[in-house]
Amino acid sequence: MAEYNKDPFFSSDQTKVIEKEEKTKILIPVLLFILTFITTTIAGVEWRGISSTGYELHDLLYGLPYSCAILFFLGVHEFGHYFASRYYQVETSLPYFIPFIFIDVNFGTLGAIIKTRTQIPTKKALFDIGASGPIAGFFAAVAILVYGFTHLPGKEYLMAIHPDYGTADYGKNAISLIFGDTILFSFLRSVFTVPTDFIPPMGEIYHYPFLCVGWFALFVTSMNLIPVGQLDGGHIFYAMFGEQKHYHVASVSLIILIVLGFLGILRTFVYTWIPVGFPGWLVWSIILFVVIKIKHPPVYDYVELDPKRKFLGYFSILIFVICFSPTPFLTQ
């Protein structure tokens, strides 16, 4: 900060303004991180089956595994973007973690974002910045899930939350929340568990902090890799295939989300036999169309990506396929 005072082109008042802006750039992300740590810890306690109206202060310790795991994943994802941006000297903010308390499905956060303040100069930089977050976050998610599946508690853990589990009265007069399976989640479950393990059904994994966070991480990763606009997948696809192909694929992707959204509405309220669909995809498609936009802003660079980056691009597409669930949430 003292360097500004030595610069003859800055007055004392201008220096104070600059110093205040620099402090704000750090203070706001730190405060949001602390708030998100609190809200995710509360969410972790509630996922453990402890009522928000019935726990004491020491019960917050039960929420720490969930909170630390989800902040680890979000941090790895966003700092992947951040360090790639710094490498290319693209000015960007520190990660803004978003605290949030949901009414029903409470993950304690809406995720995290970083804000790019200067233009990305080349398609190479665009690709690296776009791909670094989801690829880094993907490996963080896999690590969390591997730990979760290799450290499964016994059936008594779930019985302590649901004493009626396995009985005829189980689930009566209650709405059950089922997380949608994915190719990767199913694969890791089959590889890292043994027949003697008690493997919770998809309608109970939210009680298991590392499985819950790992599933949420796959869900978030797939959402970010949808090849639309300025989503991470949009950056990757634009850098790999150019503006025209990106626009066509983005348009088709948006149409698919809209269809899945309407199928989810029909499945929820009319035809329960419909195998796929989630109303939230319709909401997400509206957000993409209105806020994120379908088109990607032009990057005036016509140099093709090298084979190494193309390989990572196709790997990112594979990540999307194995992490995506057309029916991420189902209530019964």
Three-class DSSP labels, the chain: CHHHHHCCCCCHHHHHHHHHHHHHHHHHHHHHHHHHHHHHHHHHHHHCCCCCCCCCHHHHHHHHHHHHHHHHHHHHHHHHHHHHHHHCCCCECCCEEEECCCCCCCCCEEEEECCECCCCCCHHHHHHHHHHHHHHHHHHHHHHHHHHHHCCCCHHHHHHHCCCCCCCCCCCCCCCEEECCCHHHHHHHHHCCCCCCCCCCCCCHHHCHHHHHHHHHHHHHHHHCCCCCCCHHHHHHHHHHHHHHHHHHHHHHHHHHHHHHHHHHHHHHCCCCCCCCCHHHHHHHHHHHHHHCCCCCCCCCCCCCCHHHHHHHHHHHHHHHHHCCCCCEEEC
Whether the Cβ atoms of residue 330 and residue 180 lie closer than 8 Å to each other: yes
Q: Identify whether 5 is part of a domain.
A: no
Q: Quote the CA–CA distance of 115 and 72 in Å, as a whole number.
A: 19
Residue 147 lies in a domain: yes
148: in domain: yes
> Is 22 among the domain residues?
yes
Question: Could you list the residue range(s) of the whole structural domain that residue 316 is in?
Answer: 15-165+173-331
Examine residue 94 and state whether it is found in any structural domain, yes or no: yes
Place of tokens 């082109």: 9
Domain assignment present for 116: yes
Structure confidence at residue 9 (pLDDT):
47
Dist CA 230 CA 95 (whole Å): 17
What pLDDT, on the 0 to 100 scale, is given for residue 50?
67
On whether residue 4 sits in a domain, the answer given is no
Total number of domains constituting the chain: 1
Domain-embedded: residue 104: yes
**137 contacts 221 by C-beta, under 8 angstroms:** yes
- pLDDT at position 177: 81
Number of Cβ within 10 Å of residue 198's Cβ equals 13
* Cα–Cα dist 91/120, whole Å: 9
Which residue has tokens 């020491």?
58
| pLDDT string in tens for the chain (332-residue length) | 333 334 454 455 545 544 556 677 889 999 999 999 999 999 998 888 765 556 677 778 889 999 999 999 999 999 999 999 999 999 999 999 999 877 666 788 989 999 888 888 899 999 999 999 999 999 999 999 999 999 999 999 988 888 878 777 776 666 678 899 999 999 999 999 998 999 999 989 999 999 999 999 999 999 999 999 999 999 999 999 999 999 999 999 999 999 999 999 998 888 888 889 999 999 999 999 999 899 999 888 888 999 999 999 999 999 999 999 999 988 76
Stated pTM of the model: 0.89
